[in-house]
Amino acid sequence: MVEFDSVALLKANQPIPALMSYGINDLVEVAGLAAAVRELVGDLAIPVGPCDREPLAGFATFARKHQPALVGISTDTCGVSSALAYAEIAKRHGAFVVLGGHHPSALPEQVLASLHVDAVVRGEGEQTLAELVAQGPSERVLGLSYKDGSRIVHNPERPLIEDLDSLPFPLRQLRPPRFGLAGSHYHTDTVYTSRGCKARCAFCANHLVGKRWRQRSIENVVRELASIPPGRQRKPKMVKLWDPNFMNDPERVAELCERIVEADLNRRFRFVAETRVEDIVRGKEVLPLMKRAGFCQLGSGLESPNQATLELHRKGVRVAWIEEASQLLATNDIHFCKFFIIGHPNEGIDDILHYPGFAAAPGYRRQSSYFFALTPYPGTAIHEEYHRKGLIASYNWNLYTNYCAVVEPPGIPRQTLQALLGTVMAQTMLNKQWARGEPLRVLVGKTLALLLANARVLLLDDTVGSGEAEDNFWQSLSMLKSTPPRPAPTRRRVLPGLKAVRFHHRRRPPIAVRVATSDGLEQLVTEHGASLDLPRLGTLNLDIGVLLALARTLDPRHDGHDVMTLLFAPRRMHPLWMASLLWQATKVAGILAALGLAHLRRLR
């Protein structure tokens, strides 16, 4: 007889979903934990997921109806507040509550300080959770921290799982519907072919759970891939091979690719993976085979274009390798996703503004660059260093999303770092899309989308007022640089097109982004001042205050869920969701009308 015969497992959600990961969060880790306890329990459920429209309300309904004996919640740092909200609901209905993941592994005592949390699983969770479910909390369960009356007991660490093939495949069918698609048929999926990483970067928290690198057999990986249903409408499904460093062993990658082709899985899936940049160079011979096996994208954490910064964080990367990797992937027609971090203690504002130029490496039109704010996750070396030096400006875990500035490097206030994040994102997009020949009206829309998303994260911080968010938006615009020149169009337009956009802010002078033409070339330039000579008919006037009202109106969780459901399974769209989406569209239309009125007033 087991201690807990009914179990519910959850993944905590971020306060504001990150756009990059929102649509591909597929709960595979939680489904893997479910597989580890399947044979022990009578009732097992993954009732809600991070992509649900109302995950907390959905779990409250589930807990009231089913009253699970044990609720396990996996969480990263930015999800702790929602994890504790789930814990409160579970405790209200009599459940034993256990948390696991990177954050609880780093700060078990802080997590156990909550009245609603009974235990914490540190490190890998499958075996610890299975023993906890079978026999309850005791000193015999390695890797467990738990409350014993008024004291907290920290059991010894659990040895790593050496034979990863011994783990059952994730129970994908238990996953809740996502965007109207059943758990076995999500439009994306994830497979881990190994655990751990040989590197130990100062800012990375992977070592808290994965630790030392271990691999699954190729046969085991291929069998799991074969068990995943294909995509809908005969379109290849995107599968993330989400190892911390996929190309750690190029010979192993080559063997896996050969088996994928032999099993015809390259027709069923398109694969994306992340790896270290030096391994792309070291494994260049395997890249053509990866392309044939269906790999369409590789991502790498490049972090910084400055060698001193890479050495400071023990990254072990040479800047020269980045350019070589860019060329190799472009040659093999594999998209390169480059990830950068700003906010390093040895870099100033000018260093950060150099990032977009570095991102425009050879072949960059076939690449994407993403930027994050340095986030000192608990348990990392960078957290200890920044805490010791007093450089951490906020311990509000809701802000630890990689998109919120929570540190203050020497000479860079936190709000300026947030503005810089918006600038480098917008500048990189402008440089790339301008080179592709996009017109100004398209570039304006894409720039505003990026800057509004960047400004919206400030709304997570209770210490930031609306005026400061508007100042931050203006500051991001003010640091934009001119784009590289491109040939001016030779044909005249019958009607005048958009030539300039002027941003008005009541506290600061206007900022104009305009098209400048000289010697047969044109480029985008940024200018400041109230008396700029701009064409009357070709200039769009935008009020930053009204734009920020648009950011406050949008609801990423509700709107994202509804739009994705309409895209993937429109028949599953609830009438109330449709009404909500239409009402949201009405509010957005009202703000756009206000922007138009503000523009007309400026023309008088």
C-alpha dist (Å) from residue 411 to 314, 352, 420, 450, 464: 23, 13, 13, 25, 20
- Out of 5-19, 66-80, 367-381, which region has the weakest mean confidence (pLDDT)? 5-19
Question: What is the model's pLDDT at position 516?
Answer: 87
C-alpha–C-alpha distance, residues 290 and 278, integer Å: 17
Indicate the SS3 state at residue 384: helix
C-alpha–C-alpha distance, residues 287 and 289, integer Å: 5
Question: What is the model's pLDDT at position 460?
Answer: 66
Question: What is the model's pLDDT at position 52?
Answer: 92
| Ranges of CATH 3.40.50.280 domains, the chain | 6-154
Q: How many C-beta neighbours within 10 Å does residue 421 have? A: 26
Residue for token pair 């893997």: 32
Provide the CATH topology of domain 187-374.
TIM Barrel (3.20.20)
Q: At what angle do helices 466-478 and 414-435 cross, to 10 degrees?
A: 50
Residue 17 has pLDDT above 70, yes or no: no
Question: What is the model's pLDDT at position 335?
Answer: 93
C-alpha dist (Å) from residue 484 to 3, 355, 360, 429: 66, 15, 11, 12
**List of long-range contacts for 593-597, beta carbons under 8 Å, 24+ apart:** 594/546, 594/549, 595/542, 595/543, 595/546, 595/547, 595/550
Per-residue pLDDT tens digits for 261-308: 999 999 999 999 999 999 999 999 999 999 999 999 999 988 888 888
Residue 602 has pLDDT above 60, yes or no: yes
CATH 3.40.50.280 given to domain 6-154: yes
Residue 365 has pLDDT above 60, yes or no: no
- What tokens were used for 376? 């000192």
Per-residue pLDDT tens digits for 387-401: 999 999 999 999 998
Average pLDDT, the chain: 89
Higher pLDDT: 176 or 466? It is 176
Which pTM was predicted? 0.93
Distance of CA 48 to the CA centre of its chain: 20
| Ranges of CATH 3.20.20.70 domains, the chain | 187-374
Residue 257 has pLDDT above 90, yes or no: yes
Residue 350 has pLDDT above 90, yes or no: yes
Residue 20 has pLDDT above 60, yes or no: no
C-alpha radius of gyration, the chain, whole number: 25
